[in-house]
């Protein structure tokens, strides 16, 4: 294979296209609710001493009537891992700390507690190896079996189109990963999570890029349906308190256990973009 620049550029192009389509759909939902909220975009540039091309990204943020806070980030960064951190990354070590990472990350916290919050992330990384990872998981303060079933069914279909083992493997991985050990609870109702889909040759890259694209398409298809299904639901003060308490659990997971948060902090990412996942308001009782 090459130095992966062309492949990284193709992956980045898809992530940027997906971002634009997701943001347009979320803004359309705000229009339907009578809101004129739109995404504000802030460009950030990464800095690394001795690195003339460290990359950067764009943070998109919207606060509206339906989406109390939603962030959609796309970044492409290059450089070297710190030696102690390199040892924890697939294909990297203290002697070979170089990396390139490009990806999209999205977290939506909703105004109505009956509308589920959601997380989606897909990425392409190169070290001594190259691989795709990502997934999406649903995080409802007030779960509905219908929503959970429809969310999983859409990702099951996306997985099954590529490999009959993917859904069982990746949904189990999500259940194991999105778990808060000190609380003894899952962060939400699951979804899929995958990592280290390695690209040993051109065919593997094409295959894994196609799957990663379908993960993005699945998210763009199903989540707006769930938002429209619940966004006009009546809710009580007790419902809102339940949401705020649940958001506290969400924040605990992202600050204590989330690997993406750690990766961003360890690689000199934009702090506002990294912590975009935190809810706008939460309570601990």
Q: Domain holding 93: CATH number? A: 3.40.1500.10
- Report yes or no on 206 lying in a domain: yes
- Which residues are annotated as catalytic? 119
Q: What is the mean pLDDT of residues 5-9?
A: 93
List, in order, residues 6 or more apart from 31 with CB less than 8 Å away: none
Task: Measure the CA–CA gap between 166 and 180, rounded to whole angstroms.
Answer: 24
Mean per-residue pLDDT over the chain, rounded? 94
- Report yes or no on 282 lying in a domain: no
Nearest C-alpha neighbor of 11 from the set 205, 219, 253 = 205
- Give the model's pLDDT for residue 21: 98
Task: Measure the CA–CA gap between 22 and 118, rounded to whole angstroms.
Answer: 13
- Report yes or no on 54 lying in a domain: yes
Residue 106 clears pLDDT 80, i.e. is over it:
yes
Please tell me the least confidently modeled range out of 2-6, 43-47, 75-79, 107-111. Answer: 2-6
The more confident residue out of 161 and 86 is 161
Number of domains in the chain: 1
Q: What is the mean pLDDT of residues 140-168?
A: 98
CA 190 to chain centre: 13
CA distances from 46 to 17, 21, 57, 85 (A): 22, 25, 8, 18
Residue whose pair of structure tokens reads 């460009």 in the numeric block: 43
- Report yes or no on 285 lying in a domain: no
Nearest C-alpha neighbor of 57 from the set 40, 38, 44, 39 = 44
What pTM value is reported for the model? 0.94
Task: Measure the CA–CA gap between 105 and 136, rounded to whole angstroms.
Answer: 10
- Report yes or no on 44 lying in a domain: yes
Residue 79 clears pLDDT 50, i.e. is over it:
yes
- Report yes or no on 225 lying in a domain: yes
- Report yes or no on 209 lying in a domain: yes
Condensed to tens digits (0 to 9), the pLDDT of residues 243-267 reads 999 999 999 999 999 988 988 888 8
Neighbours of 222 (CB within 10 A): 22
Task: Measure the CA–CA gap between 123 and 195, rounded to whole angstroms.
Answer: 9
Q: Quote the domain boundaries for residue 150.
A: 5-277
Residue 2 clears pLDDT 70, i.e. is over it:
no
Q: What is the mean pLDDT of residues 216-234?
A: 98
Residue 94 clears pLDDT 80, i.e. is over it:
no
Condensed to tens digits (0 to 9), the pLDDT of residues 131-151 reads 999 999 999 999 999 999 999
List, in order, residues 6 or more apart from 46 with CB less than 8 Å away: 54, 55, 56, 57, 77, 79, 267, 268, 269, 270
- Give the model's pLDDT for residue 91: 77
- Give the model's pLDDT for residue 1: 40
Find the distance separating the first CA and the last CA of the chain, reported in whole Å. Answer: 54
Q: What is the mean pLDDT of residues 212-231?
A: 98
- Give the model's pLDDT for residue 81: 82
Nearest C-alpha neighbor of 148 from the set 174, 182, 176 = 174
Nearest C-alpha neighbor of 102 from the set 128, 82, 132, 59 = 132
Task: Measure the CA–CA gap between 179 and 185, rounded to whole angstroms.
Answer: 6
Please tell me the least confidently modeled range out of 5-9, 12-16, 112-116. Answer: 5-9
- Report yes or no on 224 lying in a domain: yes
């Amino acid at each position: 294979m090459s130095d992966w620049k062309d492949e990284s550029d193709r992956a980045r192009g898809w992530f940027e296209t997906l971002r634009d389509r997701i943001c347009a759909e979320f803004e359309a939902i705000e229009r339907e609710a009578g809101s004129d909220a739109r995404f504000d975009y802030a460009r950030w540039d990464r800095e690394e001493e001795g690195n003339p091309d460290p990359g950067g990204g764009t943070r998109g943020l919207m606060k509206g009537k339906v989406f109390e806070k939603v962030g959609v980030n796309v970044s492409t960064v290059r450089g070297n891992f710190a030696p102690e951190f390199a040892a924890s990354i697939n294909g990297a070590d203290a002697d070979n700390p170089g990396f390139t990472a490009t990806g999209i990350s999205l977290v939506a916290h909703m105004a109505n507690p009956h509308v589920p919050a959601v997380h989606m992330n897909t990425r392409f990384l190169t070290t001594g190896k190259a691989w795709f990872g990502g997934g999406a998981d649903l995080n409802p303060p007030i779960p509905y079996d219908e929503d959970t079933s429809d969310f999983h069914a859409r990702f099951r279909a996306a997985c099954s189109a590529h490999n009959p083992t993917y859904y069982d493997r990746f949904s189990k991985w999500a259940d194991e990963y999105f778990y808060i050990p000190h609380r003894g609870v899952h962060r939400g109702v699951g979804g899929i999570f995958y990592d280290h889909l390695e690209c040993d040759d051109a065919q593997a890259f094409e295959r894994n890029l196609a799957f990663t694209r379908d993960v993005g398409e699945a998210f763009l298809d199903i989540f707006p349906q769930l938002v429209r299904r619940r966004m006009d639901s009546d809710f009580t003060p007790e419902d809102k308190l339940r949401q705020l308490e649940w958001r506290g659990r969400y924040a605990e997971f992202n600050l204590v256990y989330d690997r993406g948060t750690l990766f961003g902090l360890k690689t000199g990412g934009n702090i506002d973009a990294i912590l975009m996942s935190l809810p706008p308001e939460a309570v601990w009782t």
